[in-house]
């Protein structure tokens, strides 16, 4: 009986059959079954499926006692159809997807997703499908370690809208050599937090929990690398209509950390500013050309991140507005100059 649905394990075998038939070797069923170490009935079902669903022009040559394509140019790997034939750019996309999965390394979904992509791309291994590995590169970046159990517990809690508690290491708390929290040394090293987990956010190689802190009655951002000992409280919450981090008013594109106030920022940048012109820093940004550079203006609720961005540009960037940002920048620059003289 021909298949109506293709098992996931059959896909690599079908591409193997395609390769053998297209090679003009005129393979027959027993030979294919022997080479792939599977049953003849599986091979026969695969060939029937290829004819019915892939529209493969397979015929049997009784003189050469094997299968062949009536159209010698036909290959499952060079077309596009309902069966998911792969073109060269599809194969490249699969390979790049595996590379991009490194962003999720340390989470349980990394291994599962990687295994899935490996099974899908397995038929293309012999087709120069990984040529790009040394040519299209995602450089390694500094990333904070994360406990897989923490990820699992938070994902499960979000799915059920469950209130949780956890121990949270503050930013000024020391770490032991194995990455665990060191005993308190005059400062509070850990705090018990009770939160409603809304979203997991990825920012610059690290994962964060965006949650409502019930004790502080406010939204908070927690680094997953500092979260320990998650426990269910038995309580549940109704997720609010505007829970999504991305719906905040005045969001610019400087990471995930934001404030409660919205500001209209203007920054003067001298010298070559092409790399700034070609990027979008906020939805409402405006760029004014000047004799010595540009003037960048946008709305943001990320004043601290804006300050950090300006400082990263060195002496060629300075804020013009708002006054609060200008004063913070001046204070920081003076402190840095004083430090440089020490």
Assign residue 31 the CATH number of its domain: 1.10.10
Compute CA 148 distance to the chain's CA centroid, rounded to the nearest angstrom: 16
Asked if 50 and 10 count as a contact pair (C-beta separation under 8 A), the reply is no
Compute CA 210 distance to the chain's CA centroid, rounded to the nearest angstrom: 17
274 vs 112: which has the higher pLDDT: 274
Q: In this structure, what token pair is assigned to residue 143?
A: 């990333």
Residue 184 and residue 225 in one domain: yes
From residue 63, alpha-carbon distances to 18, 20, 26, 68 in Å are 20, 18, 10, 12
Residue 199 and residue 217 in one domain: yes
98 vs 243: which has the higher pLDDT: 243
Beta bridge partners of 192: 167
Considering the domain boundaries, does residue 179 fall inside one?
yes
- Mean of the per-residue pLDDT values of the chain: 84
Q: Is 182 left (phi over 0), alpha (psi -120 to 50) or beta?
A: beta
Asked if 33 and 40 count as a contact pair (C-beta separation under 8 A), the reply is yes
Which sign does the torsion angle of CA 118, 9, 69, 36 carry?
A: positive
Considering the domain boundaries, does residue 140 fall inside one?
no
Q: Which residues contact 338 (CB under 8 A, 6 or more apart)?
A: none
DSSP 186: S
Q: Can you tell me which residue has the tokens 């060079």?
A: 78
Q: What is the pLDDT of residues 248-295, one digit of tens each?
A: 878 889 988 888 899 999 999 998 889 899 999 999 999 999 988 999
**pTM for the full predicted model:** 0.67
Q: What is the pLDDT of residue 10?
A: 79
Q: What is the pLDDT of residues 122-164, one digit of tens each?
A: 656 555 566 677 777 777 777 777 888 999 999 999 999 999 9
Considering the domain boundaries, does residue 209 fall inside one?
yes
Asked if 78 and 85 count as a contact pair (C-beta separation under 8 A), the reply is yes
Residue 155 and residue 225 in one domain: yes
Residue 271 and residue 298 in one domain: yes
Which of 172, 206, 236 terminates a domain? The answer is 236
Residue 47: band (very low, low, confident or very high) from pLDDT cuts 50, 70, 90: very high
Beta bridge partners of 200: 209
- How many folded domains does the chain comprise? 4
Residue 130 and residue 155 in one domain: no
Which of 236, 270, 287 terminates a domain? The answer is 236
- Quote the CA–CA distance of 295 and 273 in Å, as a whole number: 10
Residue 35: band (very low, low, confident or very high) from pLDDT cuts 50, 70, 90: very high
Considering the domain boundaries, does residue 36 fall inside one?
yes
State which residues form the domain around 198: 148-236
Residue 261 and residue 333 in one domain: yes
Q: What SS3 class is residue 269?
A: strand
* Nearest by Cα to 12 from 98, 100, 101, 126: 126
Which of 204, 236, 268 terminates a domain? The answer is 236
* Nearest by Cα to 77 from 59, 96, 90, 62: 90
Considering the domain boundaries, does residue 69 fall inside one?
yes
DSSP 221: E
Mean pLDDT along residues 18-43: 93
Asked if 67 and 57 count as a contact pair (C-beta separation under 8 A), the reply is no
Considering the domain boundaries, does residue 95 fall inside one?
yes
Considering the domain boundaries, does residue 243 fall inside one?
no
Considering the domain boundaries, does residue 260 fall inside one?
yes
The secondary structure of the chain in percent helix, strand, coil, rounded to multiples of 5, reads 40, 25, 40
């Amino acid at each position: 009986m021909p298949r109506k649905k293709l098992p996931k394990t059959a896909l690599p075998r079908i591409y193997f059959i395609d390769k053998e038939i297209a090679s003009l070797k005129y393979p027959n069923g027993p030979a294919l079954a022997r080479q792939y170490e599977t049953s003849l009935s599986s091979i026969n079902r695969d060939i029937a499926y290829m004819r019915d669903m892939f529209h493969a022009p397979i015929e049997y040559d009784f003189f050469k006692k094997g299968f062949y394509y009536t159209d010698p140019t036909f290959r499952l790997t060079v077309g596009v159809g309902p069966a998911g034939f792969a073109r060269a750019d599809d194969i490249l996309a699969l390979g790049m997807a595996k590379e991009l999965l490194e962003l999720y390394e340390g989470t349980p979904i990394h291994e599962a997703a990687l295994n899935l992509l490996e099974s899908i791309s397995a038929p293309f291994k012999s087709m120069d499908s990984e040529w790009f590995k040394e040519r299209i590169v995602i450089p390694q970046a500094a990333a904070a370690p994360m406990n897989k159990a923490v990820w699992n517990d938070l994902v499960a809690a979000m799915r059920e809208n469950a209130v949780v508690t956890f121990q949270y290491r503050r930013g000024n708390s020391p770490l032991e050599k194995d990455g665990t929290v060191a005993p308190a040394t005059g400062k509070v090293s850990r705090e018990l937090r009770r939160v409603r987990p809304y979203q997991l956010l990825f920012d610059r190689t690290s994962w964060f929990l965006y949650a409502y802190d019930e004790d502080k009655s406010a939204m908070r951002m927690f680094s997953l690398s500092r979260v320990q000992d998650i426990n269910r409280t038995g309580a549940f919450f109704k997720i609010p209509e505007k829970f999504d981090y991305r719906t905040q008013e005045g969001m610019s594109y400087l990471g995930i950390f934001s404030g409660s106030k919205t500001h209209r920022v203007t920054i003067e940048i001298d010298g070559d500013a092409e790399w700034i012109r070609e990027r979008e820093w906020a939805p409402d940004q405006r760029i004014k050309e000047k004799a010595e550079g540009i003037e960048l203006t946008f709305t943001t609720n990320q004043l601290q991140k804006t300050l950090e961005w300006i400082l990263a540009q060195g002496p060629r960037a300075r804020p013009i507005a708002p006054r609060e940002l200008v004063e913070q920048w001046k204070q920081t620059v003076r402190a840095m100059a004083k430090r440089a003289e020490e």
